[in-house]
Each structure stands twice: as structure tokens, then as C-alpha cells.
Amino acid sequence: MSNLKEKFFRRGNEFLGSKVPVICGAMTWISEPRLVSAVCNAGAFASLAGGNCPPEILEAAIEQTRGLTHAPFGVNLITISPAYPLQLEMLKRNPVPIVIFAGGLPRDSDIAMIKETGSKVMCFAPAAAVARRMLNSGADALILEGTEAGGHIGLVGLNVLIQEVLFEYDEALIFVGGGLATGRMCAHMLLMGAAGVQLGTRFAVAEESCAHHTFKQAILRADARDAVSPGQFDDRLPVVPVRALKNEGLKRFCQLQLDLIGLLDEGHISVKEAQAQVEHFWIGALRRAVQDGDVDNGSMMAGQSIGLVKKIESVQDIIDQLTGEMETEFQRVKESLQA
């Protein structure tokens, strides 16, 4: 490893237990043992997507992953998932190196319980206020995710979050993600102080990804303008924004919101019931796209980096290319400063 690469990789690698401070973002129905182990064996870091997975199935996935890699890996938990409390209890008795809290704010007691098992804790921070709270609550590291990312997202772009959070917490371990796909861009994230980077969409179409071939081909055909987030239509029905490709499924999601708002107006449904229907829609629609290849009616979750993803590659090739591009960019910047 060159001196420059070692310098900028060190903090992230020491925390993740990796050789390259690149995180494969946890993707429901995609981040399963084969992909997670492939990423970790290639020198980077990945986590199993907890989603709404029953704890016994998630535990079996942990054991399967341990059989496929000796490298550290993590588990991503969605705090608003109905399965979350039982998943948390399972991880208390069967800890993994790193637990990543996503989808909402974990309680301080949840973070403390996980840390008591010896696991490290990472939390997503889609806004400056969330970043401050998570650091004060004991998170060991943050994933600063911009709205350019795919799947469930925040509302603030990565460029602003870098200035609001990364530049304000020089000593904190902060990984960044959202719209990243090239090693050259990743290098500049590290130059600005990030401990590492997170990519999702590029790994979704990797050879080792279990995603349906039709799903992968749809990703490769799309460009940045195709990955959109419809947001929410009414404050009474809070909806976590989701970025996905425009298709019939996304149109149906928008119609579902309008229908639920009508039911709320008429008093036929509670806000909690309406929110549950929204989440249920995404769970089923995502499975149809990823597993069944129904790219017209399923949920094609993807980030705005989609236009930079041009081919299906092995995980090892992706990591090697990212690493090589980062090293080249470090050297280019050094030479430009010395000129």
C-alpha cells in the first residue's frame, strides 16, 4: 500500500477491520450472505440487511456469512421495522462486529446494549441534528447519507451534509454516501476528512448480487434522471422518502398515498394503519423487483449514481477499480499541489 493510500485509508480500515474503507450499503433482499461475504473477502465491508426479517432467519444468515468469510461484517437494523425489537435481542446473545442503526433514531439504551456486547455501533445521519444526537448518544461512527442515495433517504444533499457535519466534527469517525460510484470521487471524500465511503447501487448489479438479471439490466439502462423520490403529499401521513426508478410501481405508490389521505379525511383509517400500509407496499414491491424481476410493477430502488453504473462486474473487480482510482487521484492531487 502506498503511503498516501495508507494515510487516508487508516482510520476507516481500523474501525471496519477492512483493507479498503469502502462500505457496501445494506440493501433489502440483496445484502444476503453471498454478497456480504464477497465484499468482505475482497477487502471492503458489508452488512446483512435486517429489514423486517424474522430474527431466527437473520441469525441463520449471520451463521451462513460466518461460514463464508473470516473478515468482519455487520448487521443493518431498521429501527421502525416490526421485527426490530426481536432482532435486537437476537444480536444481544449473538453479537456481530458492527451493528448499523437505520430508518429512525435508536434509543440510547439500544445503542448502549449493543455496545455492551462488544459490537461497534454505526448510525445513519441524513441531517445535522441527527448527527449531533447520534454522536451524543454514543454512536462510534456515523454514515452521512445524502439524498442522492437509493432506497429510504433523507432530504439533504451530500454536499451540504459534508459542510454541516463532516467539517464540524474533525475527530468523529464519519463515513459518507449518496451518489458515489467512482474511485476518483471517493478519494475526494477521504481528502475532505471522511473515514470511508458507502456505495450501494454499484454493488446491487455485481455478479455476486442475487438480484434478478432483469433488475440488473434495468439499472444499467437508466440514468440519473430516472432515479426519483416522490416524497410525501400530506403532513398527516409521514412517509420516509424513497428514491427509485420511475415505473408503474412508483405511480401506484403515489396513488396509494392519495387513497390513504382520502381514508384519513373520512376517518376510516388511523395514521398508524396508513403508515403500516405504506411500509407494507415497499416491502412487497421491492421483493417483486429484486427477486422476481418485475421491473414494471416492483420497486426499483436505486440512487442517482445509477447513470455511472455501466456494467455487471465481480465484487473483486469493483473494489480493485475503486482502490486503483483512489490511489491515482491521491497522487494526482499531490503532484498538482507540488507544481
Residues 121 and 269 placed together within one structural domain of the fold: no
Q: Sign of dihedral through CA atoms 222, 224, 225, 230? A: positive
Residues 6 or more apart whose Cβ sits within 8 Å of residue 27: 49, 151, 200, 203, 204, 301
Residues 112 and 137 placed together within one structural domain of the fold: yes
Kindly state whether residue 326 falls inside one of the protein's structural domains: yes
Residues 64 and 205 placed together within one structural domain of the fold: yes
Residues 189 and 230 placed together within one structural domain of the fold: no
Kindly state whether residue 303 falls inside one of the protein's structural domains: no
Residues 104 and 149 placed together within one structural domain of the fold: yes
Listed in order, strand segments (DSSP E) in the chain are 22-24, 45-49, 74-78, 98-102, 120-125, 141-145, 151-152, 174-177, 196-199, 227-228, 242-245
Kindly state whether residue 161 falls inside one of the protein's structural domains: yes
- 57-75 per-position pLDDT tens digit: 999 999 999 999 999 999 9
Number of domains making up the chain: 2
Residues 9 and 61 placed together within one structural domain of the fold: yes
Task: Specify the pLDDT at position 1.
Answer: 60
Residues 6 or more apart whose Cβ sits within 8 Å of residue 162: 144, 176, 189, 192
Mean pLDDT, to the nearest integer, of 8-26? 98
Q: Are 244 and 299 in contact (CB under 8 A)?
A: yes
- Could you give the CA distance from residue 305 to residue 308 in angstroms, rounded to a whole number? 5
Query: Does the pLDDT at position 311 exceed 80?
Result: yes
Tell me which residue of 239, 179, 241, 223 sits closest to 25, measured CA to CA: 179
Kindly state whether residue 149 falls inside one of the protein's structural domains: yes
Residues 193 and 235 placed together within one structural domain of the fold: no
Provide the phi-psi class of 151: left if phi over 0, else alpha when psi is between -120 and 50, else beta. Answer: left
Listed in order, strand segments (DSSP E) in 296-336 are none
Residues 129 and 231 placed together within one structural domain of the fold: no
Residues 250 and 317 placed together within one structural domain of the fold: no
Residues 137 and 259 placed together within one structural domain of the fold: no
- 249-261 per-position pLDDT tens digit: 889 888 998 999 9
Kindly state whether residue 216 falls inside one of the protein's structural domains: no
Residues 264 and 331 placed together within one structural domain of the fold: no
Task: Specify the pLDDT at position 144.
Answer: 97
Instruction: Give the CATH number, domain containing residue 185.
Output: 3.20.20.70
Containing structural domain, residue 141: 3-211+308-338
Mean pLDDT, to the nearest integer, of 298-323? 96
Kindly state whether residue 217 falls inside one of the protein's structural domains: no
Residues 58 and 179 placed together within one structural domain of the fold: yes
Kindly state whether residue 218 falls inside one of the protein's structural domains: no
